[in-house]
Structure 1
Amino acid sequence: MRNLWGTQDVADYLGVPIKTVYDWRAKGYGPMGRRVGKHVRYKPDDVERWFDSLGEGVV
């Protein structure tokens, strides 16, 4: 298993500001994250799968 990603890792991978990832999470959009204590962590495979599910030109 690959290491889990934090919010900054997701933002870096997707090329968006970290605030965008926080906004998506608040709106129930974006890749699924899981709370680990007070932190949100993402499985890289989930982030990539979410990205792949987007249509061309959508975000």
Structure 2
Amino acid sequence: MTPAEVAGWLKVSEVTVKNKYRAWGLRPQKVGRLLRFRERDVLDYLDRRYG
């Protein structure tokens, strides 16, 4: 997933995702200079955070 897609899921801006993904514990996959996130990692974060 792109940072924009993650931002849509979390209802935050794309800039917030890029600045906070480490604090949230989301592990990015680097594709060149681009950040990508696994859907299962985002779902795990949501489950941990909001149960």
Shared fold (TM-score, shorter chain, > 0.5): yes
Distance 1:55 1:45 in 2: 15
The amino acid across from 2:34 in the alignment is: H
TM-score, L = length of structure 2 = 0.82
Please list, as runs of the form range in 1=range in 2, the aligned pairs for 1:19-38 lying within 5 A after superposition. Answer: 19-25=15-21, 28-30=22-24, 31-38=26-33
Partner of 1:17: 13
Does the Cα contact within 8 Å between 1:32 and 1:47 map onto a contact in 2?
A: no
Q: Using the TM superposition, give the Cα deviation of residue 55 of structure 1 relative to its aligned residue in structure 2, in angstroms.
A: 4.7
Q: Alignment partner of 2:23: what SS?
A: coil
Give deviations 1:13-54, integer Å, cap 9, x for gaps. Answer: 1111111101103xx212221111111111101101011111
5+ residue gaps, structure 2, are none
Runs of 4+ in 1 over 3 A off after TM superposition: none
Higher relative helix content = 2
Higher strand share: 2
Tell me the C-alpha RMSD between the 2 structures.
1.5
Q: Which TM-score applies when normalising by structure 1?
A: 0.73
C-alpha distance in 1, partners of 2:33/2:19?
17
